[in-house]
Amino acid sequence: MSEEPQFKRVLLKLSGEALMGSQDYGIDPEMVNRVAAEIKAVRELGVEVCLVVGAGNIFRGMSGVASGFDRTSADHMGMLATVMNSLAIQNALENMDVDTRVLSAFPISSVCEPYIRRRAIRHMEKGRVVVFAAGTGNPFFTTDTAAALRAAEMNCDALLKGTQVNGVYTADPKLDPTAEKYDSLSYQEVLRRDLKVMDTSAIALARENDIPILVFSIHEPGEFARVLKGEGQFTIIR
């Protein structure tokens, strides 16, 4: 008999890159379906799920700045790109019969609902997956910070960061074969060692609100559900 999930409500943060699959740009429908299947499996455990998706697969503000765009315009473009990713995930989930709502931090009312905290909570209580699009709605922020912010607003029990590897390592395991995985870390250690897990403001927000961050591989089938049951491979930051 498998373990019960340890959390009642969680927020999953995915980088835009997670939707890129083997492509070097954009949205890979196969990868989006795989991610959606991971989320569906967690919903079936009875866990309430919300999501924040980045846009590194399409457009990042800082790359826009490097090619001459004004920072605020570039960040608006980055936030709009997160809306595209959110709609792709919604589509894949709804094709799997998982009710999903996209809530945007700034109004794009003919495309999705505006973000209203109480409405988001209500959706989750009704068993719907909620995808928070457009980051925080403000330039000069990242979707990592948006994830920590929404996790705090939604009273989530944990923030799950789905990455390319199965946890946080002493060095990049793809470049350094001697790199070792941490089982657990404190928020303070992450900040002090400048470990590239999430940006500093996201870690600080999670720490202030006592939200554990679990870092795991989104590429391992079934891992999202396993991690929530305390099985699987992950690093916990608390």
- Binder of ligand UDP out of 55, 93, 215, 236 (CB under 6 A): 55
**Size, binding site for ligand UDP by CB under 6 A:** 23
φ, ψ dihedrals at 158, nearest 5°: -160, 155
- Least separation in angstroms between residue 54's CB and ligand UDP is 2
- Binder of ligand UDP out of 38, 48, 75, 223 (CB under 6 A): 75
φ, ψ dihedrals at 121, nearest 5°: -65, -40
- CA nearest to 72, candidates 133, 139, 134, 137: 139
With respect to ligand UDP, which residue has the nearer C-beta, 136 or 166? 136
- Binder of ligand UDP out of 27, 31, 51, 54 (CB under 6 A): 54
Q: Where are the alpha helices (DSSP H) in 69-175?
A: 71-95, 117-125, 143-153
- Least separation in angstroms between residue 143's CB and ligand UDP is 3
Which residues ranging from 156 to 215 are in contact with ligand UDP (CB under 6 A)? none
Q: CA 90, 32, 105 angle in degrees (round to 5)? A: 40
- Would the annotation count 181 as a binding residue? no
Single out the segment in contact with ligand UDP by CB under 6 A; choices: 86-94, 130-138, 205-213, 223-231: 130-138
- Would the annotation count 141 as a binding residue? yes
60 touches ligand UDP by CB under 6 A: yes
- Would the annotation count 28 as a binding residue? no
List 9's β-bridge partners, or say none.
48
d(Cα 107, Cα 204) in Å, to the nearest integer? 28
- Name the 3-class secondary structure at 233: coil
Helix (H) or strand (E) holding 36: helix 29-43
- Would the annotation count 200 as a binding residue? no
- Binder of ligand UDP out of 20, 124, 131, 146 (CB under 6 A): 146
d(Cα 48, Cα 133) in Å, to the nearest integer? 18
Cβ atoms of 203 and 151 closer than 8 Å = no
Q: Of all residues in this chain, which one has the CB nearest to ligand UDP in the complex?
A: 54
Interface positions with ligand UDP (CB under 6 A): 15-17, 54-56, 60-62, 74-75, 78-79, 82, 135-136, 138-139, 141-144, 146
Instruction: Pick out the residues of the known binding site.
Output: 13-16, 56, 60, 75, 136-143, 163-164, 169, 172
